[in-house]
Every structure is written in C-alpha cells, then in structure tokens.
Structure 1
C-alpha cells in the first residue's frame, strides 16, 4: 500500500537528485571564468604573482579560471561592465569608479598587511640624492603618476594635496601617467621624472622593496638601489586596500563558492596566498560597498575640481 510516508520519501529522494543538478546549472553558462588584475607591475610579474591563485580557484570552484593581464585600470572596469571579467582585483579608486559608473560588482575581501592594516598610503617619492624635500621644492618639476584610475598613483595625491592647498596640475610643471606603479618608480630612477606617486603598505612593503629583489632598480654604476635611495615628501591619510570583486550577476551559488575560496586561501593554499604579496600579507578581511564610501567621496571631490579647472 502506498502511504503518505512512502510518497514523502519518494519526493525527498527525488529532491536529493535534483538539488545537486540545480547547484551545478551555472557550469553550462560559465564553463570558464576570467580573473583580471589592475597593472601594478609589468605583465610577466603579474602573471607570476597571480598564476598560483588562478590554479587554486580553478580547483576550488570547479571550472578553469583564466588570468587576464589588463593594459590599464579602465580595461578591468570595462571588462566587468561587459560581463567578460567575472572576478577582478581592483585598487579602491578603480573599484569605486566602477560602482559609480554603474558596473554591478560585489566586493569580497581585501588584503590585511603585515602591520595588521587592511589598507595603505599614497606617497610621493623623490631620489634621496636630489635637493627636493618638500612639495614646495617640486614646483615646476615633473611628476610621474600611475594611471587616472589609480588610487595611490593619482586620485589620492590629487585629493590630499588639494586639501593642503596644492593643485597638482599647477604645482608641477608636467604630469605624466606611467601606466603602472613599477613604471612610475622607473621614471624617477631614470631621471625622466623628478618625483613619482606610488603605494606604501609599510616600512618593509612598498613598490620599491618589491622591485629591488627583481633587480629592477640600479644606480648609474650598476649597483643595486635600496629603500634609502628614495625620500618621501608626501604621505596621504590611510586608504582602504582595494578588493577582489565578483560580478553581481553571477549565480548565488557560484558567488558563494568564489567567496569561500578566497576566505579559505590563506590556510588552504598558503603558497598561493603568500605569492600575492611576497609573503608580506597576513590574511584576508571581508569587505562591503560601505568600506569604499570614503573613496567614492574622494573621487567626487576630484571630479568636481577637474570640472572647475
């Protein structure tokens, strides 16, 4: 005799078969995912730094995750707008610009540095052997910025210097966008710029400390440069670290898999996590849109200043 218990049991068994199938439906639409990264360093350096992460994500998520090295910050923003980039690593300003221009993205985590802070500072460097010790000393000189959408390499210097009474475009004789943080430092080293804007995580974790082991910073006599060969003449207030973010349009179960993979990364694959920062970062910190509201206000201020000039 067919009883209510038998019917309930049959439906329960059917549900067990259907649920896993539903949970995997997204694989038909997303047989492959793309991770894109803003260009803080050269293309080969970016590939080396993020390849272990993409291998880890491929394993954890269950579909291949391919790395895309973007030519500039805008390429990451527009790639996510078009839906071609499913996961992205942004700076805080480029992420905020994406949100402000209508890109539907959700931040997941950002990195906690060795000093325990999930953020960093913008600095302006000069050569230590130069006569420049203040922003006033640099009036009429050349400044290497990074990218229009770079936080430490453009937006933060403009914002905080304006608050201190300096208009970047009027103080400096010439400003150029170098394209990456490494290129901005190289412009300073090679003498094509008198100052360079860049990121500063801690005393032992800067773009300079990351470039030195690669042999990228040399004095005219061929000897290696050190952090002491550079002087900071400007340092911004604290900035939240940029996030890893996913398209909001991805299926919820896929977003959950990606989010959990990032949260687990520091312990599940410490080598891949350490590669992201040369072993300098401690962990990931969960973030939300609210964490980047101060950066959005900074961008609005800079946009207004640009319209006035």
Structure 2
C-alpha cells in the first residue's frame, strides 16, 4: 500500500519544491478561503454543507470541502497546494510529509477510553521458537495493516498473509505459533493488552497465560488533520482551537469528521508522527 501511494503520486516530486515555496497569501490564483480535502466515495461528502458553515463561522472566511476517492489523490492535491487541509491516516500523512515536507499536523482524534493510537504486537505461544514456526499477519487494510508489515520482520519465520479472521482461527487452532496483530495504545496508561487482536483471541477462548508479547512496535498515532505549513500562524491557531473544542460543543458536526473515535480531538505535533514516517521509509526501501 505504501509503495503504491508513492508510485501514484511520484509525479508530484517534480514540482513539489515549487508548490511548497509559494506562500498561501501570495497564491493569487487560488479561490478565496480555506479548502479542505476529505475521503469520499462520490462527489459529495456527507455533512459537507454543515462542515463548511461551521468552519466558515469559526474562521471568518469561506470554506470549501472537496471529496477525494483515495489517499493518493488527497496527498497529491495537498502537495500541489490544490487544498490547504486534509484528513489523513497516519501512514498517508507520512507519505505526504516525505514527498513534500510542506505539511504539519494540527490535531488527531482520540478514543473515549483515552486511546491515542495502535501498536503492532507479535503474539507468540510460550515455548515456541526456531524453524518451523509459522506466522500469519493479521490486521485490517489501514494503518494497522501497515504496522503488521513492520511486525512481521520480528517473527521467527516467514509470514503468510491471511485475513484477520483466518489468521486468528489458525492461531487458535494451533496451526501457527506466532501471530502479528495489534492493540490499542493510550496516552496515559500505555497499551491495552485486552484490546484489538489479543482481546478477540481471549474472547474466542484463548488463555492469556499461554501466550507472550514477543515484540511491540512504536505507537502509530491515529491519523491527523494536517495543513500546509504556509497557512498563516493565526489561522492555524484558530483551526486547532476550533477542533479541540468541537466534540463537546458540536457533537453532531464532530461525527461528520470522525465517526469512529469519539473522545474528541487532541493537539498533536510533527514529532508524534515520526514513527509513522520511519515506518513508511522502511517499507518504501524494501
């Protein structure tokens, strides 16, 4: 997935330096106001009108929401300066940052339980090691799946791909001795070992005492709302404050922006996504 993203937006590298050098205020050809890019299956984003009105009221300027069919399209649009603001997964943000270096994260969603991201984990049956141990990668096709690729390098045998359910069934049946999965990580309290893959395995009858966590990755933060660096500083401050206060003040609008993680937006910095950047670079070099 990461290599595909790079390949699909490779053409942006030729003009990325120029796109990043023109400041937001100097771009006289751009439409007035703020341009927001979001993933959407069709030409329209659910709640787009409400999003535009709320942002416009908070910022005092016109706001337009654009739909992108996939992350490569969203990345290319922001690198080209066709949009000012994009909502990314962590790995998509990292690809955009590697291509241009012209973006920065403002906020990211959190879970009601304080979850801030995920960790890949290598789950191993106690006493299992060495040749003959089979490993199956597990995880949905998003940032968790990307982390699982990283975790597979720590396994004691080559990994075989499988769907999440197939991988977990094979592990529960004793057909494999290792499983690359994931757990939720919290900003306070650390990883929740009863969540994610481990939680599902335990619910399916696995005795937690029979396994160990042989390896865990750095935390991959939930994907950020990222803006171009050349936006005026006061505009970035107003955007960040608006988003941090959004969940308690306008919960319905918050759900249009983040339907899954209902703990509200929290401030983030580029340093929070350095593990994602390192992971993307490692996968790209394979």
TM-score range, shorter chain: 0.5 to 0.7
Note if 1:32 corresponds to 2:58: no
State the secondary structure of the residue aligned to 2:115.
coil
Please give the alpha-carbon distance, in whole angstroms, between the structure 1 residues aligned to 2:39 and 2:158.
Answer: 26
**Distance 1:287-1:137 versus aligned 2 partners, 3 A rule:** closer
Q: Deviations over 1:158-200 (max 9, x none)?
A: 11112224655xx23xx9xxxxxxxx99xxxxxxxxxxx9997
**Distance 1:265-1:144 versus aligned 2 partners, 3 A rule:** closer
Aligned length: 218
Structure 2 matches for 1:165-244, cutoff 5 A?
A: 165=156, 171-172=160-161, 237=217, 238-244=219-225
Question: TM-score, length-normalised on structure 1?
Answer: 0.56
Please give the alpha-carbon distance, in whole angstroms, between the structure 2 residues aligned to 1:200 and 1:54.
Answer: 35
Note if 1:151 corresponds to 2:143: yes
Structure 2 matches for 1:91-110, cutoff 5 A?
A: 91-110=89-108
Q: Which has the larger radius of gyration?
A: 1
**Distance 1:299-1:276 versus aligned 2 partners, 3 A rule:** same
Gap runs ≥5 in structure 1: 1-24, 124-134, 176-183, 186-196, 207-227
**Distance 1:98-1:256 versus aligned 2 partners, 3 A rule:** same
Q: Which residue of 1 aligns with 2:51?
A: 53
**Distance 1:250-1:199 versus aligned 2 partners, 3 A rule:** farther
How far apart are 1:110 and its partner, in Å?
A: 0.5
- Which of residues 235, 245, 258 in structure 2 aligns to 1:264? 245
Note if 1:298 corresponds to 2:283: no
How far apart are 1:26 and its partner, in Å?
A: 8.8
State the secondary structure of the residue aligned to 1:48.
coil
How far apart are 1:66 and its partner, in Å?
A: 2.2
Please give the alpha-carbon distance, in whole angstroms, between the structure 2 residues aligned to 1:262 and 1:159.
Answer: 32
Please give the alpha-carbon distance, in whole angstroms, between the structure 2 residues aligned to 1:245 and 1:80.
Answer: 9
Structure 2 matches for 1:84-123, cutoff 5 A?
A: 84-120=82-118
**Distance 1:277-1:106 versus aligned 2 partners, 3 A rule:** closer
Please give the alpha-carbon distance, in whole angstroms, between the structure 1 residues aligned to 2:155 and 2:147.
Answer: 12
Contact 1:80 1:103 in 2 (8 A): no
More helix by share: 1
> Over the residues paired in the alignment, what is the CA RMSD in angstroms?
4.3
Q: Deviations over 1:63-89 (max 9, x none)?
A: 332222222211111111100111111
Question: TM-score, length-normalised on structure 2?
Answer: 0.60
Please give the alpha-carbon distance, in whole angstroms, between the structure 2 residues aligned to 1:113 and 1:249.
Answer: 30
